[in-house]
A and B are shown apart, each in its own frame.
Chain A
């Protein structure tokens, strides 16, 4: 019965290959998912971003009522929000591997595996169709597992893994192994550091997909892209190399807006420059805040316009921040950079977003109050393409 050899018991498991290549010792620990169910939350981090100055053509001092505009727009049958993009990831702790440290003792590190999916859907006549999907499998290992510290080590290891018979048979590839830092001066747990690497990778893929859509010229004044979450935009080296191309690229970002469910209300400063979370909490239904501008030193010379829109009445939601979307848009033209974004455009975009409040995904997603339905569908689409947790964990 020689055929059995590549059957059940002699299967090369990824973990044993990893242990062998990195010289660690696998503990065949319990494998489990690290994702927590999506629940509404307030993002307290990233306070480098600060509301600076008004960034729209009309100088509003208070909330702007969009009730009648949104109603007017809903009666017309056109739509400018056409594309929707969302990324998600699923992470699992798949093993503990011990590596020898100084003094002859072993330290155990978790090995994290993740599935990343980024998808884009298009709305045509009230129906949503998928247009793009990027998927990948990644691993995150402690940086010291790269014993020699050579830069090509991780890609080579990933390639080796993907070439093993088990993965070949299933047609699965690990695109990369992302090392997480093991130094002691960072407070996070190793797991969290590893998850952060996977998250970063997902954001990278999101950016790539946005850039792809922008480059393909699918977006224009009648076809905006709504990206779930913050609009963290970073041009690639190639984009920057050619000045003209860079400008075109930036211009195309005219048609992209970011709609974030989670945001840090502390970051909002009032006219006197003091943090004023109440300003957003008190935002009336179907109103928007004035537009502010911010720069993020991490993102280079790009300026963002930011404003908030309330989709749902406070009395209908759990917290005053539920039902509020944080909208971001890049200031593209010189004019915009100087005088701010056209208030009329902000009103129109906001009104369209207000109309996106229905239908809701109440019951299937806890974040229903902040989630617009096409984004929810995109997310559902991306998640539907994941390998099931059981199948995925069986690889290890």
Chain B
């Protein structure tokens, strides 16, 4: 098929073509979009491909005044019998040359639309090893030449060991961050289920809002969208080489709540819980003092501890040989001992830790463990469990969904910190001696609202931040992969974002794009970020030659509206 000629390259003294960009003119009515690829005839029979960054329209009017005068000095009803001469010119970034010739393209060189094949080549989407679909892109949208292409990542560059971690940013609701992360995980699970992969993967997902992720193994009923939407979505999944089934091998964990208490620890309905229990898919999480006291520090992740007094108290508590805390076995005993320490006139611990510090500690801990979840014992016959014990047993292809939506923030942090630490230690091989421990080679942890745990404002001493930094910095080789989402990427600790190999930018606002994090993006792209539609993402990955604007289909698992 012949490429469609759409314009010619412009090179002037003021706007020269360079090794990495060029301008070309095109008809004012030619529909082009940012991120569209064009093909330019170049020397030695080669072709240079460029990604459109911006399109400008100019006319021969020298100034605004010229146009104003052209309407009889401001008569808004005047129509002109001749259209003012105008043209569009587009700015394009060079992405690729077929013969590796990065000599600037020549003036008046022919500019064509590219074919699907050429687009994949230009974007570096061809010959991707370990292809993992991450969405699809549309070129020349709204024209007869529209091209739709699936976009593949090298899975080794998102799950490790070459590169790992994914960061998704975007405004809540408009960016569909969770949906995108779920889409990617669905694609990963599909790939590992259907292909003979040399490694294996499992997922740990946190449900932080309502019942959103509490039915990911149930199909989407498309009740509100209707059957047409279902057909369209299914077609899109099939076109991307994915199954139209929801997640498989899913287990749900909800915080334990006593049947006596009126307070519920989950947004799941009683029926849902019954069903899941019946299917053996659901367990209730309990924290037992003797096993989980090491995690007490997680309750202090948001608390400033400049003198490290909290840290000293915690290390005292977890010291099994400690005079006061060594032999304790229940939360209530523990609280009593803490209360004792905090009592006025108490000697403290050889004066190391002041009574005031104990009181602060007591305040934080008492509030934190006031929950049925902090119990004395686990009763496996009632589907109760210790989360860490469950996670140690995680098997390949499994998806563990942990519901922390209804927990207060401090307890959310506690659970999250516990999970990250357990997975990290699991992959470090700390539990290898225990029976039944056979973790998959890669474990993906997905958390929304990363800003709660790894924002720039989190105290440096935060144990959760420390865990997250460990994961992002060393997880790549260990096989712990963090998929994280947040509203504002600029709020996230630089060492966390800096270690993510893949970044997905969803719709955001101008305050956010004005921050330093976005300074490397051209202005047009920044503005585009503020207009992206739901389901549109701009993706950055080391194997792509440039940023890509991609889309992904609607969720295939049950949606709660």
> Would you call B82 an interface residue if the criterion is a C-beta within 8 Å of the partner chain's C-beta atoms?
yes
Taking each of A316, A362, A368, which has the highest tally of chain B beta carbons within 10 Å of its own beta carbon?
Answer: A362
- The answer to whether A360 and B69 have CB atoms under 8 Å apart is yes
Docked-complex contact A358 and B80, CB < 8 angstroms: yes
B81: min CB distance to chain A, Å: 5
The answer to whether the Cβ of B73 comes within 8 Å of any Cβ in the partner chain is yes
Q: Which single residue of chain B is at the shortest CB-CB distance from A311?
A: B72
Say how far B75's CB is from chain A's closest CB, in angstroms.
Answer: 9
Chain B hits for A127, CB < 8 A: 82-83
A74-B79, A363-B61, A363-B66 in contact; A358/B85 too (CB < 8 A)?
no
A128 interface residue per 8 A CB criterion: yes
B86 to chain A, nearest CB (A): 10
B-binding segment of A247-255, A302-310, A331-339, A373-381:
A373-381
Cα separation A359 to B84 with both chains bound (whole Å): 7
Cα-based distance from A374 to B83 in the complex (angstroms): 9
Give Cα A373–Cα B71 distance, bound, in whole angstroms. 13
Contact A74:B81 (CB < 8 A) given known A359-B67, A362-B69: yes
Q: Which residue of A123, A357, A361 contacts B60 across the interface (Cβ within 8 Å)?
A: A361
A360 near B73 with CB under 8 A, answer no
**Interface residues in B73-99 (C-beta closer than 8 Å to A):** 73, 78-85
In the assembly, what is the distance between CA of A361 and CA of B60, in Å?
8
Q: Report the separation of the CA atoms of residues A91 and B389 in the bound assembly, to the nearest whole angstrom.
A: 94
User: Are A364 and B70 closer than 8 Å at their CB atoms?
Assistant: no
CA distance A360 to B80 in the complex (A): 10
Q: Is B62 an interface residue (CB 8 A)?
A: yes
Task: Verify if B65 is at the interface (C-beta below 8 Å from A).
Answer: yes
| Residue numbers in A under 8 Å from B63 (CB-CB) | 362-363
Residues in B whose Cβ lies below 8 Å from that of A359 = 61, 66-67, 70, 80, 82, 84
Among the listed A79, A358, A368, which residue makes an inter-chain contact with B71, where contact means beta carbons less than 8 Å apart?
A358
Partner of B72, one of A126, A358, A361: A358
Q: Closest B-chain residue to A73, C-beta based?
A: B81
Report the bound CA distance from A360 to B72 in whole Å.
9
Structural contact, B81 and A79, CB atoms closer than 8 A? yes
Count: A-B pairs, CB below 8 Å: 63
Could you say which residues of chain A place their CB within 8 Å of the CB of B70? 358-360, 362
Q: Is the CB of B72 within 8 A of A357?
A: yes
A356 proximal to B (CB < 8 A)? yes
* Beta-carbon contact of B78 and A361 below 8 Å: no
Decide: B65 and A362 in contact? CB cutoff 8 A. Answer: yes
- Give the total of B residues in contact with A, Cβ under 8 Å: 20
Q: How far apart are the CA atoms of A364 and B73 in the complex, in Å?
A: 17
Name the B residues within 8 Å of A175 (CB-CB).
none
Contact mask A188-213 → B, CB, 8 Å, 1/0? 00000000000000000000000000
Is residue A355 contacting chain B, with contact meaning CB distance below 8 A? Answer: yes
CA distance A355 to B72 in the complex (A): 10
Bound-state CA distance A267–B437 (Å) is 109
Q: Are the C-beta atoms of A126 and B66 separated by less than 8 Å?
A: no
From 359 to 396 in chain A, residues with beta carbon under 8 angstroms from any chain B beta carbon are: 359-364, 368, 373-374, 377, 380
Q: Which of A81, A128, A361, A380 contacts B66 (CB 8 A)?
A: A361
Quick one: which of A123, A356, A373, A380 has the most chain B CB within 10 A? A373
Cβ-defined contact, A380 with B60, below 8 A: yes
Chain A residues positioned under 8 Å from B67 (CB to CB) = 359
Contact B65–A358 (Cβ < 8 Å): no
B88 CB to nearest chain A CB (Å) = 15
CA distance A357 to B80 in the complex (A): 8
Chain B residue with Cβ nearest A372: B82
Per DSSP, chain B at the interface is: loop
**C-alpha gap A362/B72 in the complex (Å):** 12
Interface residues of A toward B: which range?
20 to 34
Question: Complex formed: what's the CA distance from A356 to B61 in Å?
Answer: 16
In the assembled complex, the Cα of A368 lies from the Cα of B62 at a distance in Å of: 12
Nearest-neighbour CB distance to chain B for A372, whole angstroms, equals: 8
CA A358 to CA B83, docked complex, whole Å: 9
Q: Write the nearest CB–CB distance from B107 to chain A, whole angstroms.
A: 15
| Nearest CB of chain A from residue B28's CB, rounded to whole Å | 10
Q: In the complex, what residues of A have CB within 8 A of residue B81's CB?
A: 74, 79, 81, 123, 126, 352, 355-356, 358
Known: A358-B78, A359-B61, A364-B60. A126 touches B69 (CB 8 A): no
Interface residues of B in 206-227 (CB under 8 A from A): none
Query: Are B71 and A362 touching (Cβ within 8 A)?
Result: no
A214-253 vs B, CB cutoff 8 Å, 1 = contact: the mask equals: 0000000000000000000000000000000000000000
Residue of chain B at shortest CB distance from A357: B72
Contacts of B85 in A (CB 8 A): 128, 377
In the bound complex, do residue A374 and residue B82 qualify as a contact, i.e. CB atoms below 8 Å apart? yes
Closest CB in chain A relative to B153 CB, distance in Å: 46
B82: A residues at CB distance < 8 A: 123, 126-128, 356, 359, 373-374, 377
Task: Tell me whether B84 and A362 are in contact (CB under 8 A).
Answer: no
A363 / chain B contacts, CB cutoff of 8 Å: 61-63, 65-66
Q: Nearest B residue to A365 by beta-carbon distance?
A: B62
Nearest residue (CB) in A for B67 is A359
Which residues of the other chain, A, contact B69 by a CB distance below 8 angstroms?
316, 360, 362, 368
Least CB separation from A376: chain B residue: B60
Chain A residue with the shortest CB-CB distance to B83? A126
Q: How far is the CA of A128 from the CA of B84 in the complex (A)?
A: 9
| Complex CA distance for A62 and B71, rounded to whole angstroms | 28
Residues from chain B with Cβ under 8 Å of A123 in the complex:
81-82
Complex Cα gap A363–B72 (Å): 15
Contact with B along A62-92 (1 / 0, CB 8 A): 0000000000001000010100000000000
**Which residues of the other chain, B, contact A380 by a CB distance below 8 angstroms?**
60
What is the CA–CA distance of A374 and B81 in the complex, to the nearest angstrom? 9
* A residues near B72, Cβ cutoff 8 Å: 357-358
Q: Which residue of A lies closest to B78 (CB)?
A: A358
Assembly CA distance A343 to B95 (angstroms): 65
Complex Cα spacing A380 to B85, Å: 11
B284 to chain A, nearest CB (A): 73
Provide the residues of chain B in CB contact with A368, threshold 8 Å: 69
Of all chain B residues, the one with the shortest Cβ separation from A381 is B85
Residues in chain A near residue B62, CB distance under 8 A: 362-364
Interchain nearest-CB distance for A57 vs B (Å): 27
| A69 to B84 alpha-carbon distance, docked (Å) | 24
- Within the complex, the shortest CB–CB distance from A366 to chain B, in Å, comes to 12
Q: How far is the CA of A356 from the CA of B79 in the complex (A)?
A: 10
Contact of B73 with A316 in the complex, beta carbons under 8 Å: yes
Please report the C-alpha to C-alpha distance between residue A74 and residue B79 in the assembled complex, in whole angstroms: 7
A84 and chain B: residue at smallest CB distance: B82
Q: Which of B346-395 contact A (CB under 8 A)?
A: none
Within 8 Å CB of B79, what residues of A?
74
CA distance A151 to B63 in the complex (A): 53
Q: How far is the CA of A81 from the CA of B81 in the complex (A)?
A: 10
Closest chain-B Cβ to A128's Cβ sits at a distance in Å of: 6
How far apart are the CA atoms of A368 and B78 in the complex, in Å? 18
* Distance A360 CA – B59 CA, assembled complex (angstroms): 12
In the complex, what distance in Å separates the CA atom of A359 from the CA atom of B65?
A: 11
Interface string of B270-307 (1 = CB under 8 A from A): 00000000000000000000000000000000000000
Complex CA gap A357/B79 in Å reads 11
**Given contact pairs A316-B73, A357-B72, A380-B60, A362 touches B83 in the complex (Cβ within 8 A):** no
Q: Which B residues lie at the A interface, using CB under 8 A? A: 60-63, 65-67, 69-73, 78-85
Q: 26 interchain pairs (CB within 8 A)? A: A74-B78, A81-B81, A123-B81, A126-B81, A126-B83, A127-B83, A358-B70, A358-B71, A358-B78, A358-B81, A359-B61, A359-B70, A360-B69, A360-B70, A361-B60, A362-B61, A362-B63, A362-B65, A362-B66, A362-B69, A362-B70, A363-B65, A364-B60, A364-B66, A373-B80, A374-B82
A residues at B contact (CB < 8 Å): 74, 79, 81, 123, 126-128, 316, 352, 355-364, 368, 373-374, 377, 380
Given A81-B81, A362-B61, 13 more A-B residue pairs with CB atoms under 8 Å apart are A74-B78, A123-B81, A126-B80, A126-B81, A128-B82, A352-B81, A358-B72, A359-B61, A360-B69, A361-B66, A363-B65, A373-B82, A374-B82
10 cross-chain pairs, A with B, having the tightest CB-CB distances, nearest first: A363-B62, A359-B70, A362-B66, A126-B83, A358-B80, A358-B70, A363-B66, A362-B69, A359-B84, A360-B70
